Amino acid sequence: MRFADYAKMYLTAGNGGAGAVSFRREKYVPKGGPDGGDGGRGADIVLRGNRNLNTLLDLRYKKFLKSTHGENGSGANKSGRDGEPVILDVPLGTIAYEFETRRLLGEVTEDGQQLVIAKGGQGGKGNSYFKSDVNQTPRYAQPGVPGEEIIVEIELKLIAEVGLVGYPNAGKSTLLAALSNARPKIADYPFTTMEPNLGVVTLGDYRSFVMADIPGIIEDAHKGKGLGIRFLRHIERNKVLMLVISCMSNIEEEYRILMNELREYRADLLEKPRLVVVSQMDLKPGFELEELPDLPDDYILVSAATSHNLKELKDLLWSRIQEAHE
């Protein structure tokens, strides 16, 4: 149930600045000692975890990146300024490899975590560093070390934050398509969805989340009936569960069965934040139910065909996701 995204980048980190060869020269100090400062460090190129992101799309437009060099050292033991690192915000679950060897550079799994993928060069030592009893006036300094040049593959293995749980033909795929950029197979027969489909739901203000349409669950799915527990496994790592129930069904009974299947498979799934969505409301006159269901969970009446209450649904899901992060 992981969504894979990919970017390939050609990176050049900053060179270290050269150390300075300098001697103290003042009016009353004609033969001062060496005072050459060290060169600044070249800038790194860094990935930084951002839990609000879920795509590597921005990186695809940054194929070639260079970071700044460190400044050279100068007299009076002044060190050069370090280069300013290039910070690339990426979603959690981002993995970086060296392209040619597939050497793992690291994985970003936490918000704010930083991973250096191209290391800047060390600054050279100024001549004051080399002063000794044997050599009181060293006339040499180190050059800066070149920054790393590397081709990096960046992959995103992203876990969907919201999982759609419901009977076959409850309208989950249609709802996913209406809410996101996903284009799942949709047809009027059970088990149309044979594997999880993922889509990115956007809300504006740079807010977005990933939603997964799980293949339909029926009674005794935890015993292997229907498509069995291999699809129940897909919801283990979702942060929020969205129970989708058609308005044309017995809503309370279907809710009871779905909750029981989750409980029988793994009781701790019931601890996740969840929301009940009564779908296909365009089939009801005036988008109203003859009788409101008596459910212990919050629910919302929606129609994917007419977009009825879809904006409100997005906002509710976003609040549930924030609740899950706390």
Q: Which residues of the chain have pLDDT under 70?
A: 1-5, 29-30, 157-159, 181-196, 215-234, 237
The pLDDT, as a whole number, for residue 285 is: 92
Are the C-beta atoms of 36 and 19 separated by less than 8 Å? yes
pLDDT value at residue 169: 74
Placement of tokens 């293995």 in the chain? 157
Q: What is the DSSP string of 54-112?
A: ---GGGGG--EEEPPPPPPPBTTTBPPPPPPPEEEEE-TTEEEEETTT--EEEEE-STT
Say which DSSP state 34 is in: B
CA distances for 194 relative to 210, 219, 225, 228, 278, angstroms: 19, 17, 14, 11, 22
- Give me the amino acid identity at 109: T
Quote the pLDDT of residue 158: 56
Which pLDDT value is given to residue 314?
94
Q: What are phi and psi of 222, to 5 degrees?
A: -65, -15
CATH topology of domain 2-157: Spo0b-associated Gtp-binding Protein; Chain: A, (2.70.210)
Query: According to the model, what pLDDT value does residue 186 have?
Result: 37
**CATH number 3.40.50.300 is the correct assignment for the domain at 160-325:** yes
> Pick from 217, 209, 210: which is nearest to 193 by CA?
217
E strand intervals along the chain: 2-12, 45-49, 64-66, 86-90, 94-98, 104-108, 114-118, 149-159, 162-166, 197-204, 207-213, 240-246, 274-279, 299-301
User: In the numeric block, which tokens belong to residue 177?
Assistant: 């398509």
Give CA 282 to chain center in angstroms.
Answer: 35
Beta carbons of 35 and 24 less than 8 angstroms apart: yes
Q: What pLDDT shows up at residue 58?
A: 83
Please report, for the chain, the start and end positions of each structural domain, with discontinuous segments joined by +: 2-157, 160-325
Nearest to 138 by CA among 296, 253, 21, 44: 21
Coil, strand or helix at 221: helix
